[in-house]
A and B are shown apart, each in its own frame.
Chain A
């Protein structure tokens, strides 16, 4: 970007500055720390100049929004066209109370829904299964069958909202219910938009909601992608997630690297199924975290966009530019929140929201300030949503596209993160690919080591965490926390008994038998899952069909 003559002068002048004003200042009073690092542990220099980006080629490395390599953004107008989708992840208790929260959020200006399911549904158990005891309705809504799903979307038109479902191993089952409800509402599947997470690899890496062994669960993932490509064209068939990798302790660069490694594995699996890359890749979506170090986060997002575009074009020979776009949802960092002085979390979330806006995300969930204590209360959820609205409509971050481009620091950090991602991807390729790297525990161990390093930094007070190791104070215990009482579980168990007793048994059995038969072949299971949920099969019953065929995943623990 700079002429050699100019660079030479900058280099000379920088040396003069170092020996002159800087040297004098340091002699008088040294800096606060010998080394400065980001929250990921990446060293940060005192000053960035054109010398740090001397290899940057504007047209090659940055280009224009909506065009390869998408460093500056995936759409030509970005937030000048429309803001990101404000999508708050919500769900608790039974379908009725969650439906009320959804309608409240939509009235408050939220623009998309995001379903939090309780753990039994995520792990493929009905609410009355022994392993579900104590968990029913706790961290999400209890959905066992199609009748629950109907209540969940009562008075919410599925052609007007888009819905994201955090559902992985049983993703096909919940998507089947959603599509069946859309049909009941008279909504054409061509108009149904939304996302299922469907990212089983990161469940195995760090989130823990796995059911089947890696290679079998991948088959169900690909079935869903293939089915939607033909029948639900606007659906985002997967949300390849770095969010949980970061929550588990990774650095920013590891988050991007391991997520893109998973993305490569899914793309490869779809191609092996016989799908053309440009037929499914435009519907792949991603999900990342946003921490409080705004500049590092912005660099991470920009590096990820550029790297993924190259992977798709060079490695997978995609031709459609839409296949090369890293489109992603963001959630602010849950693990960055403190139980101590919880109102401070509002500030953290605001900075993380700002990072998302400057980084070019397509949708966002902002955490509530009370989430280190409990499920979010209505007041806290409202503040979280307002935080997004303030950043979008007051801060000015949305007025121009990729406003930090050209910053010597941000460009240098973008290059650095991209290089680190590339190094990890090459290492994982050399190990035989993502699945092998996971099976060997490599990715898990890398994440755990970073988590350990961070914890040590906090405990040795090498890194400041406000309210944890600095500026601490005595506080009264918090009050007014949201709790889900145990009676939801009892009610749900009684209701399930009735549900099973009242269905057409012959129809139900035939549908499950057919699903069992198809699941043992190479045929796509999705049409038969839709038949099964319509015939009133429950989440647990359908997941059991696959448990019996594919077995269950039992991880080796890598501590």
Chain B
């Protein structure tokens, strides 16, 4: 891809940013966006710009009050009952050894000149999605400036292969055992679909198929 052909990358970067914000503890702004359909509009706008086919997601309306919306987030993702939430948003909890997962994530972030903000942990889905936003942004920026983009693309592929792309499908699978409200169900489904397609896309551009 040459300069001027960066819009698919920009679209990917923007969606990673949107998803990162959407998985944070729900505030009133997100609640408003979702209930008033703004969230869904944003996704629909960007879909045609993807370098792959993907159906719209996250469109279901929120059917209960804000407090309940937050309580459901707590139940599914953050607190749960004793022993932890059933569907934690920390990737390391879906792996055998969270410490080693976190170590590698830190190494990824540090390698690209980033560090975590105070109070955050490296394997939270918002951090991982934000890192993908960063890598894709830097890729698009490098392209605009006709600089080398390979580092960013290879890192994206490895990051999805070894982290997000590995555990988001597990999260999706678990979630449906716990009666999630429609928005969270579709948010996780859409994220999984998007990450999966993006992973295939990166594989295709870095290792073009002979067929």
Q: Do A and B belong to a common assembly?
A: no
